[in-house]
Homo-oligomer: A and B are copies of this chain.
Amino acid sequence: MTHPTRRSVLTGTVAIGATALASIGRQPPAHAAAPLTGKQAPGWYRYKVGSFEITAVTDGNRPTPLPDNIVKNASKSEVVAAVASTMPGVDKEKPPFPFTPVVVNTGQKLVAIDTGFGPATFEQSKGAIGQYQSNLAAAGIDPKTVDVVIISHFHGDHIGGLIGADSKPLFPNAEIMVPKAEWDYWMDEGNASRAPEGLVKSTHANSRRVFGALGNKVTQYESNKEVVPGITAVFTPGHTLGHTSHIVASGSDRVLIQADVTAGLGLVFARYPGWHVAADMDGPLAEQSRRKLYDMAVAEKMPVHGYHFPFPALGHLDKDGNGYRLTPVFWNTAL
């Protein structure tokens, strides 16, 4: 994972001289080495918020060559430098973009918030993404028992997992709830016809594909209300025009599920909240939502789940200069 010189290792840190290896007891047994496994642990992590159980269930990471124009108001070399300092150990020119939805069990309702790219992308990406359904199964969650799916916004990495490669619903018993402002914008034929090439146009088409497969049977919700008991929608527009975050609350405990308030490379863009990412439809509005929400999370010491934070995608934000620094959650080894 790094490239020190052999010399520095051996001369810089070893405090005692080499002497003959003293050996007592039995000889090493002749034993076949166990094979390499090539397998990673299943990608889920669970924590309590009051009496609720929240499970972060990752859809995977996608290594992505940084486009020249990934940030509108910063150069690519500035972004590469920020990746190197914020995500040490990754390929700074082709960093992994992480994708992690959550599932909330309130004890009354089992609620999925966002759904990943969908299982069809697993083979296309050679297993990099499209992991959500298998990680959900590893976490012991049957999608047939999900009562409600709440969508934050209509980008494909959030809605794609509503349906399978066969276009059948993956949450067959769930009410699908979508922000009214997202539905109004994306499903408008005039907006679709005027959409510029690229992410905006493809999101119009993909929204019709996915929701069409569901017969457009969705419940629209508005912000500043509980979407389901214990989960309140918070309007955070800019990334998309109806982009919505959520606060999950049980008793006196809360967590902010931020969706794409920082998009793509959440750790990096939290450090540089003034950067206007190309994927944000309205950069200045996204920045305004971001600073407002993050200042609240810092002031309230509210933990934040970021869809594009590295797994397990949960941490605490601090203000650091003009930006924000995430301290990842201390991993609980038991509930």
A binding-site residues for B, Cβ under 8 Å: 1-4, 8-10, 12-29, 31-34, 36-47, 49, 53, 58, 60-61, 86-90, 96, 98, 105-110, 127-128, 131, 138-142, 145-148, 173-176, 180-181, 216-225, 232, 234-237, 247, 249, 252-255, 289, 292-293, 296, 299-303, 310-312, 316, 327-335
Contacts and interface: CB of A to CB of B under 8 A. Distances in A.
Given A53-B37, A145-B34, A12 B218 contact: no
11 contacts: A2-B253, A12-B296, A15-B235, A16-B235, A21-B220, A24-B219, A25-B219, A37-B105, A98-B333, A128-B334, A131-B334
B148 A219 contact: no
Given A221-B21, A312-B331, A235 B175 contact: no
Contacts of A46: 37, 39-41
Nearest to A172: B29
Given A218-B24, A223-B14, A296-B12, A31 B247 contact: no
Contacts of A252: 3
A211 B14 CA distance: 27
A39 B140 contact: yes
Copies per assembly: 2
Given A58-B333, A216-B25, A220-B24, A301 B88 contact: yes
A13 B61 contact: no
Given A9-B247, A15-B235, A334-B60, A33 B223 contact: no
A22 B227 CA distance: 11
A13 B105 contact: no
B220 A4 contact: no
Nearest to A62: B333
A180 B28 contact: no
